[in-house]
């Protein structure tokens, strides 16, 4: 295998370098213009690009092409067509036209559309997004596309993201113009991806993992993460081999895989790429998740991306590092050496604070899912309450502006290592606060509520749109200003005063914070149905319509799709559990009980005590009776849930009835697992899964 990373990097991508090499100069210029300005290519140019793409793809071994898109399922979709075109005499040529490149027509009726589809034709369109490069995967040329219905309603995750980048870029550029800068602005994101790796063989012997991605049963292993010996720990050879292959695969796709390490929980790991434009980092993150699964399989492993595969063990998240950057390469969230006098930075910082405070619910609901509900607020991830960590220095700068008091600088504190050979270094402006859901980390914000499985487009749509709104209001005001500097300070002062309740630098995992947040009037949307039901509030519809991100109908459709998805996930989990307990767990418990009983009879026939066995048998019988009853109750509850027709009511019914019934059944089964001889236990245990 080649270790020439620069050569490997992007070798499966029709990127800028390839375009430069293979396209006529005017075509290359036309496509660059189209990417930068977002205007469509002419039919003629599209034909030339398509031809070049096809030739390149065929040289790389591809036979097919596909429009690669991100429907509301959250994962990517593709339908392969071969380049094959019949000509006379049974001969074929390999053909790919500009029309096929630009537009596709998959059947929209098989993807979630939340009622939009029902009222129109089933047809859907995919449209090429030239700002994200085409690539080759599984012998097919994949063309990143947006997906919409026949009548133009968006049915995917990419279109709103592109719109939101555009909107934020425009508003940020307006503000920068007032600072004398004529630039365009892009959103940058680097998503850190957590995941579990387990042995494929044990995985396949657990129906719950195969069907739902998480364990629905399983007693705590004797050792968890309490020794804190896994985080950044030595990577075992089998996992290292996987990571090396994974990096190589990702590099081929032009993905900037940078960091790899063990995470907190046993069998948990993380991969972080170098940040880039959010449209690309979203596509790359979707690809990364897919490739992780594929490479794991090749190594006899299984990659679990579920937010909470194991109860009692930390789940997996995804940290969405977010910032804005100009065409001159200036990071707008870089505080510089003297943030106290960097009013451009302070203004953008204030806009983010205002945006997060105003739209707590949108940020919260953008990460809501049945899986993520197990993490948020469980002392391993931030609570369901949005707040911002700014750190002491920035907080006191903004506080002093708000109070009209002069700010006294702490000074660049030199960090003393106490070891002569290690040079002194200056401390960062902010310390780390790992409990904050939205933390300023030096020159970017890190949104930490995301679950590991989520498509990052939705959270970024929310951040972009909310910040665009704040910047739009700032620009409206400042464009009229006669005394710019004074008015900037005034604006920061007013906005920060109004929204500073969202700033919290303390420990987000405590009960005290929950109480304090309530006093401050912050939202605490604990579950997915609570959060999603706020999607179509009037303010939210107004926001999205103002910036043309979604129409009211599109928002309602999204709410419906996501709430229905929540109910469907819980329904599948409950049915899987019923199957496993009824067909695997209880029969195993009965077999063991009956062998125990037989042993007791034999022992008693020999006139020796069978006290221990009898006692154990009694305990097991009590538990298996309880499990049996709980199983029946869960079955009844699932039947009842099916009768709840309204999608909102159904989601709450699943949350309030099905989930607790599953929990009750689990408690009995996990207690049984501790008592039943391991040879009888029909499925791999947490020990088998986590310590391989």
Q: Are 582 and 638 in contact (CB under 8 A)?
A: no
- C-beta of 158 vs 444, nearer to ligand ADP: 444
Binding region for Mg ion (CB under 5 A) out of 120-128, 317-325, 491-499, 614-622: 317-325
Q: Closest separation between CB of residue 321 and ligand ADP, Å?
A: 3
Look at the alpha carbons of 94, 95, 101, 107 in this order and tell me if their dihedral is positive or negative: negative
The region, left, alpha or beta by phi > 0 then psi within -120 to 50, assigned to residue 457 is alpha
Binding part of the chain for Mg ion, among 207-215, 312-320, 344-352, 656-664 by CB under 5 A, reads 312-320
Backbone angles phi, psi at 371, to 5 degrees: -70, -45
Residue 360 interacts, among Mg ion, ligand ADP, none and using kind-specific CB cut-offs from 5 to 8 Å, with none
Positions in 242-301 near ligand ADP (CB under 6 A) = 272-275
Nearest CB to ligand ADP, comparing residues 331 and 614: 331
**C-alpha distances out from residue 271 to 10, 243, 304, 374, Å:** 18, 9, 13, 22
Site for Mg ion in 64-93 (CB under 5 A): none
Q: Minimum distance between the CB of residue 650 and ligand ADP, rounded to whole angstroms?
A: 38
273 binds, among ligand ADP, Mg ion, none (CB under 5 to 8 A by kind): ligand ADP
Taking CB atoms, the residue at the shortest distance from ligand ADP is: 190
Count of residues near ligand ADP by CB under 6 A:
15
Inter-residue contact 661 to 633 (CB < 8 Å): yes
Scanning 102-110, 318-326, 367-375, 581-589 for contacts with ligand ADP by CB under 6 A, the matching segment is: 318-326
Distance, CA of 296 to CA of 238 (rounded, Å): 10
Binders of ligand ADP in range 588-617 (CB under 6 A): none
Nearest approach in angstroms of CB 446 to ligand ADP is 6
User: H or E stretch including 321?
Assistant: strand 318-326
Which listed option, ligand ADP, Mg ion, none, makes contact with residue 377 (CB within 5 to 8 Å by class)?
none
Question: Two tokens at 416?
Answer: 């003393």
Please enumerate in sequence order all residues whose Cβ is within 8 A of that of 117, keeping only pairs 6 or more positions apart, or say none: 108, 109, 149, 155
Question: Toward ligand ADP, which CB reaches closer, 450 or 586?
Answer: 450
Residue 443 CA to residue 51 CA, distance in Å, equals 43
Q: How many CB atoms lie within 10 A of CB 98?
A: 20
| Number of neighbouring beta carbons within 10 Å of residue 389 | 27
Distance CA 502, CA 485 (A): 26
319 binds Mg ion (CB under 5 A): yes
124's contact among Mg ion, ligand ADP, none, with CB below 5 to 8 A by partner kind, is none
> Which of 212, 282, 321, 637 is the binder for ligand ADP (CB under 6 A)?
321
The whole-angstrom separation of Cα 353 and Cα 321 is 16
Binding segment toward ligand ADP, per CB under 6 A, in 69-77, 315-323, 345-353, 381-389 = 315-323
CA-to-CA dists, residue 136 to 129, 147, 164, 252, 285, angstroms: 16, 20, 28, 10, 16
Q: Counting Cβ atoms within 10 Å, is residue 231 exposed (0-12), middle (13-18) or buried (19+)?
A: middle
CB of 550 to ligand ADP, least distance (A): 25
**Footprint on residues 432-491 left by ligand ADP (CB under 6 A):** 441, 443-444
Q: Which residue has the tokens 């221990």?
A: 612
If the CB atoms of residues 75 and 274 are measured against ligand ADP, the closer one turns out to be 274
**Cβ proximity of 128 and 66 under 8 Å:** no
Take residue 649 and report the two structure tokens written for it: 């009511």
Among 188, 387, 505, 685, binds ligand ADP (CB under 6 A): 188
In sequence order, what are the beta bridge partners of 68? 144
Q: How far is the CB of 167 from ligand ADP (least distance, A)?
A: 18
Contact window for ligand ADP (CB under 6 A) among 119-127, 131-139, 189-197, 407-415: 189-197
* Residues shown for the chain: 692
Q: Which CB, 433 or 576, lies closer to ligand ADP?
A: 433
Taking CB under 6 A as the criterion, the residue among 129, 186, 192, 247 binding ligand ADP is 192
In the bound complex, what is the minimum distance in angstroms from residue 443's beta carbon to ligand ADP? 6
CB nearer to ligand ADP: give 126 or 323. Answer: 323
CB of 344 to ligand ADP, least distance (A): 16
Q: Which residue is nearest to Mg ion (CB)?
A: 319
CA distance between the termini of the chain: 27
* 197 touches 689 (CB < 8 A): no
Q: Which residue ranges make up the site for Mg ion (CB under 5 A)?
A: 319
Q: Which residue ranges make up the site for ligand ADP (CB under 6 A)?
A: 188-190, 192, 272-275, 321-323, 331, 441, 443-444
């Amino acid at each position: 295998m080649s270790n020439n990373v620069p050569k490997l990097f992007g070798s499966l991508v029709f990127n800028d370098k390839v375009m430069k090499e293979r396209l006529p100069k005017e075509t290359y210029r036309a496509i660059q213009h189209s990417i930068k300005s977002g205007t469509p290519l002419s039919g003629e140019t599209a034909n030339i690009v398509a031809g070049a793409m096809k030739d390149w793809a065929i040289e790389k071994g591809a036979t097919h092409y596909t429009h690669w898109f991100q429907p509301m399922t959250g994962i990517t979709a593709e339908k392969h067509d071969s380049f094959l075109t019949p000509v006379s005499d049974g001969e074929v040529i390999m053909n790919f036209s500009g029309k096929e490149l630009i537009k596709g027509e998959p059947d929209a009726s098989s993807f979630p559309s939340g009622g939009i589809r029902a009222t129109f034709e089933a047809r859907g369109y995919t449209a090429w997004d030239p700002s994200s490069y085409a690539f080759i995967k599984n012998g097919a040329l994949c063309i990143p596309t947006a997906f919409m219905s026949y009548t133009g309603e968006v049915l995917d995750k990419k279109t709103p993201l592109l719109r939101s980048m555009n909107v934020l870029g425009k508003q940020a550029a307006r503000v920068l113009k007032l600072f004398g800068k004529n630039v365009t602005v892009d959103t940058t994101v680097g998503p850190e991806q957590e995941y579990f790796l387990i042995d494929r063989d044990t995985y396949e012997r657990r129906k719950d993992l195969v069907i739902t991605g998480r364990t629905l049963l399983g007693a705590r292993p004797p050792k968890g993460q309490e020794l804190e010996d896994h985080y950044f720990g030595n990577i075992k050879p089998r996992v290292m081999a996987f990571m090396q292959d994974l990096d190589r695969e990702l590099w081929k796709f032009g993905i900037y895989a940078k960091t790899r390490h063990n995470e907190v929980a046993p069998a948990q790991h993380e991969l972080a790429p170098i940040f880039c434009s959010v449209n690309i980092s979203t596509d790359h993150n979707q690809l990364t998740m897919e490739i992780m699964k594929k490479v794991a399989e090749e190594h006899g492993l299984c990659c679990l991306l579920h937010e909470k595969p194991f109860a009692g063990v930390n789940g997996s998240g995804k940290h969405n590092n977010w910032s804005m950057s100009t065409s001159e390469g200036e990071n707008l969230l870089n505080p510089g050496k003297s943030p106290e006098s960097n009013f451009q930075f302070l203004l953008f910082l204030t806009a983010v604070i205002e945006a997060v405070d105003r739209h707590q619910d949108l940020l919260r609901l953008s990460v809501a899912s049945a899986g993520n509900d197990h993490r948020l607020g469980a002392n391993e991830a931030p609570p369901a309450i949005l707040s911002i960590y700014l750190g002491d220095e920035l907080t006191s700068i903004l506080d002093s502006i708000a109070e009209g008091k002069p700010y006294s600088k702490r000074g660049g504190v030199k960090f003393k290592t106490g070891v002569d050979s290690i040079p002194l270094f200056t401390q960062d402006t902010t310390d780390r606060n790992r409990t904050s859901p939205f933390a300023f980390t030096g020159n970017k914000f890190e949104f930490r509520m995301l679950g590991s499985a989520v498509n990052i487009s939705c959270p970024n749509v929310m951040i972009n749109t909310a910040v665009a709104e704040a910047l739009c209001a700032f620009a409206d005001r400042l464009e009229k200003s006669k005394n710019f500097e004074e008015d900037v300070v005034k604006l920061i002062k007013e906005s920060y005063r109004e929204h500073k309740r969202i700033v919290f630098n303390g420990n987000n995992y405590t009960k005290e914070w929950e109480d304090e947040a309530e006093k401050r009037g912050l939202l605490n949307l604990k579950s997915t149905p609570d959060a999603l039901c706020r999607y179509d509030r009037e303010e939210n519809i107004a926001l999205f319509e103002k910036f043309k991100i979604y129409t009211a109908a599109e928002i309602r459709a999204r709410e419906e799709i996501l709430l229905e998805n929540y109910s469907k996930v819980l329904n599948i989990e409950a049915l899987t559990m019923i199957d496993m307990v009824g067909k695997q767990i209880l029969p195993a418990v009965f077999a063991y009980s009956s062998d125990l009983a037989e042993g007791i009879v034999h022992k008693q026939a020999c006139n020796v005590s069978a006290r221990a066995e009898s006692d154990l048998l009694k305990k097991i019988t009590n538990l298996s009776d309880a499990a049996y009853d709980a199983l029946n109750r869960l079955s009844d509850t699932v039947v009842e849930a099916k009768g709840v027709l309204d999608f909102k009511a159904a989601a709450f019914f699943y949350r309030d009835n099905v989930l607790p019934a599953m929990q009750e059944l689990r408690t009995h089964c996990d207690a049984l697992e501790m008592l039943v001889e391991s040879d009888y236990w029909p499925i791999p245990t947490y020990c088998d899964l986590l310590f391989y």
